Structure 1
């Protein structure tokens, strides 16, 4: 995996938007629309619990949150509380990629590609 400002390459495909890597290895676009209403409060669309409903059904052992190239993605307190049961790891996106590639547990990764 590789990343730069505005993109991430996962499994040989380059995405120019935030992505979710699911426990089965599939990659989808992050559905941040649910969190959009909180943009005014955070100055940026945060990762909120409103977009994390899918996590419970996938039952990961760990959830990686790539907070962007510079680590500026806000994560709401409610999202942090929700994620606490899944051993969350929150770091700037470039810092997580090697760790994700070596992960042997069931995981979900939510990767922000800008800021």
Structure 2
């Protein structure tokens, strides 16, 4: 279970969770399982945002999981854009949006159930 400094770490292009390295963006679910962030549909918005943004359809899992808190890791340098529609969804939750290294520090101290979307590059 996550919660110590050794359980989560990242650098540009990867994140390690519970000693498993992921070379792609991930979603950490309320049951602590990890899945790949599916950003295929969001790629069509890349020209408008400069990067592939976090779009509202990517947050549909929140309807089922209803976490008390959500963490959004915006990348090593904080460059992940978030659509207006996504901000509208996140407004209904206690949400922390920060560069990925800062989010990992916050998650380490989190005792509540949570969900997280973690961008691993920019």
User: Would the TM-score normalized by the shorter structure come out above 0.5?
Assistant: yes
RMSD over aligned Cα atoms: 0.8
Distance in structure 1 (CA, Å) of the matches to 2:29 and 2:50: 28
Equivalent positions of 1:61-72 (< 5 A) are 61-72=68-79
Structure 1: give runs of 5+ residues left out of the alignment: none
* Residue 60, structure 1, aligned to residue 54, structure 2: no
Distance in structure 2 (CA, Å) of the matches to 1:90 and 1:103: 15
In the TM superposition, what is the alpha-carbon distance from 1:34 to its structure 2 partner? 2.2
Distance in structure 2 (CA, Å) of the matches to 1:35 and 1:88: 21
Distance in structure 1 (CA, Å) of the matches to 2:84 and 2:31: 27
Distance in structure 2 (CA, Å) of the matches to 1:40 and 1:99: 31
Equivalent positions of 1:8-47 (< 5 A) are 8-47=15-54
Number of paired residues?
A: 115
Stretch deviating more after TM superposition (95-104 or 73-82): 95-104
Q: Deviations over 1:12-70 (max 9, x none)?
A: 10111000100000001001112111111111100010211111100100110000000
TM-score after normalising by structure 1: 0.97
